[in-house]
C-alpha cells in the first residue's frame, strides 16, 4: 500500500535494508591473535542512516532485527546516534545478523592482511533482515515514516539476501517512485550472488534504472555490466537523473541529466581501513542533495564524509562531519 503524501517542511530520509552487529578486532593483525573485539553497527543502509543523522538530516531506518541482545543493541545504538528507530521490527523467530571485521596490522604474521587492509566474515544467513517482506510497508510505523520521507535510500545488498527481501525492496520502490527521490547504491557483493550472478545482474539493473540517484564504482560497473568508463555507464543507464560514478580514490564523475561534473578526491587522506567509506560518501552526497546544493558541492560533501570513514575502523561516521 503506498503511503499518503504529506507536506515536508524539513527534508527527511528513510533507509531500507539489513542492520548488522559488527565485531571489530581490538588490535590490528592476524585474526587468530586478536585478544578481543569491539562491538559496533554495520550494514550499508545503517551506515548511511548514521552518517545522515550526524550531518543533521532527520532519518528513519526501516529494518528487522532479532529478539536478542544484538537486536536490542542495534536499536539502542541507533537511538543514541540520532536515527529514528520506530520502523525497526523485532522478529521473534530469526536472529540478528553479525559479521566480524578482520583488520590488517604490520604484516609480521603470515596470515596478517597488512596495514590498511580489512576483510569481512559474515554470519547473516537466515537473519531477521533477510526476512523483510513486502507486508512491512503496511506496518503503521513504516507507513508513517514513508509518508514523511523526502528521500528513500536502498542498495543492492538487500535484494541479494533473499527472494522475500528482494520483493520487499521492489514493493518499496514501486510505492515511492515518483513521490520522492529514490537513491540506489549498486553495492555489488559477489559472495551474496554465488551461482546466481546473472539473476543478480538483471535484478540490480532494474533497481538502477528505477532510481533517481544512482551510485556505483567503476570497478563494480566493470564486474557487473562489463562497462569501463563513466560515459559508457551513462549511455547504458540514462534513466537516473543523477548518476554518481566513483573511481577507487580517483575523481568522481557525476551526471545530472545531461550535465556532467568531475570532482577530484582530497589531495591527501590518511587511510586506516576502507570499509564503510562508500556508505559515508553516500551520506554526505545525499545530505548535500537534500540541502539543495549543486551536484559538485554535494559530491565534495561526500568526499569529506568518506575521508572521515577512511580514518576509522568503524563502518560509519557518527558525529562531527563537516557539511
Just list the catalytic residues.
279
Do 37 and 177 contact (CB within 8 A), yes or no? no
Q: CB under 8 Å to 234, separation ≥6 — which residues?
A: 243, 245, 255, 260
Do 145 and 190 contact (CB within 8 A), yes or no? no
User: What does the alpha-carbon distance between residue 252 and residue 254 come to, in Å, rounded to a whole number?
Assistant: 6
DSSP state of 139: S
Residue 59: beta bridge partners? 13
CA nearest neighbour of 19 among 155, 203, 180, 185: 155
User: What does the alpha-carbon distance between residue 90 and residue 65 come to, in Å, rounded to a whole number?
Assistant: 5
Do 57 and 48 contact (CB within 8 A), yes or no? no
Residue 130 DSSP SS3: helix
Task: Determine the angle formed by the axes of helices 140-148 and 163-176, rounding to 10 degrees.
Answer: 40
Cell of 302: 561526500
Q: What phi and psi values does residue 157 have, to the nearest 5 degrees?
A: -80, -45
Amino acid at each position: 500500500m503506498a503511503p499518503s503524501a504529506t507536506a515536508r517542511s524539513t527534508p527527511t530520509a528513510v533507509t531500507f535494508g539489513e542492520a548488522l552487529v559488527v565485531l571489530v578486532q581490538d588490535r590490528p593483525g592476524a585474526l587468530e591473535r586478536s585478544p578481543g573485539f569491539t562491538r559496533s553497527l554495520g550494514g550499508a543502509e545503517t551506515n548511511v542512516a548514521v552518517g545522515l543523522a550526524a550531518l543533521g538530516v532527520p532519518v528513519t531506518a526501516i529494518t528487522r532485527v532479532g529478539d536478542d541482545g544484538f537486536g536490542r543493541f542495534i536499536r539502542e545504538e541507533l537511538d543514541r546516534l540520532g536515527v529514528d528507530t520506530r520502523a525497526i521490527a523485532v522478529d521473534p523467530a530469526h536472529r540478528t545478523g553479525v559479521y566480524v571485521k578482520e583488520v590488517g596490522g604490520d604484516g609480521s604474521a603470515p596470515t596478517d592482511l597488512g596495514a590498511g587492509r580489512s576483510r569481512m566474515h559474515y554470519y547473516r544467513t537466515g537473519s531477521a533482515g533477510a526476512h523483510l517482506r513486502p507486508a512491512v510497508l503496511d506496518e503503521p510505523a513504516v507507513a508513517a515514516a514513508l509518508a514523511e520521507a523526502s528521500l528513500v535510500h536502498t542498495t543492492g545488498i538487500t535484494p541479494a539476501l533473499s527472494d522475500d527481501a528482494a520483493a520487499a525492496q521492489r514493493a518499496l520502490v514501486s510505492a515511492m517512485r515518483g513521490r520522492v527521490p529514490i537513491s540506489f547504491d549498486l553495492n555489488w557483493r559477489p559472495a551474496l550472488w554465488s551461482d546466481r550472478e546473472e539473476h543478480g545482474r538483471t535484478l540490480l539493473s532494474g533497481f538502477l534504472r528505477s532510481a533517481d540517484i544512482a551510485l556505483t564504482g567503476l570497478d563494480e560497473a566493470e564486474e557487473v555490466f562489463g562497462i569501463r568508463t563513466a560515459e559508457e555507464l551513462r549511455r547504458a543507464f540514462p534513466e537516473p537523473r543523477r548518476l554518481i560514478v566513483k573511481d577507487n580514490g580517483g575523481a568522481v564523475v557525476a551526471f545530472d541529466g545531461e550535465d556532467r561534473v568531475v570532482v577530484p578526491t582530497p589531495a591527501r587522506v590518511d587511510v586506516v581501513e576502507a570499509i564503510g567509506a562508500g556508505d559515508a560518501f553516500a551520506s554526505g552526497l545525499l545530505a548535500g542533495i537534500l540541502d539543495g546544493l549543486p551536484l559538485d558541492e554535494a559530491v565534495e560533501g561526500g568526499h569529506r564524509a568518506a575521508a572521515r570513514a577512511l580514518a576509522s575502523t568503524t563502518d560509519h561516521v557518527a558525529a562531527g562531519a563537516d557539511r
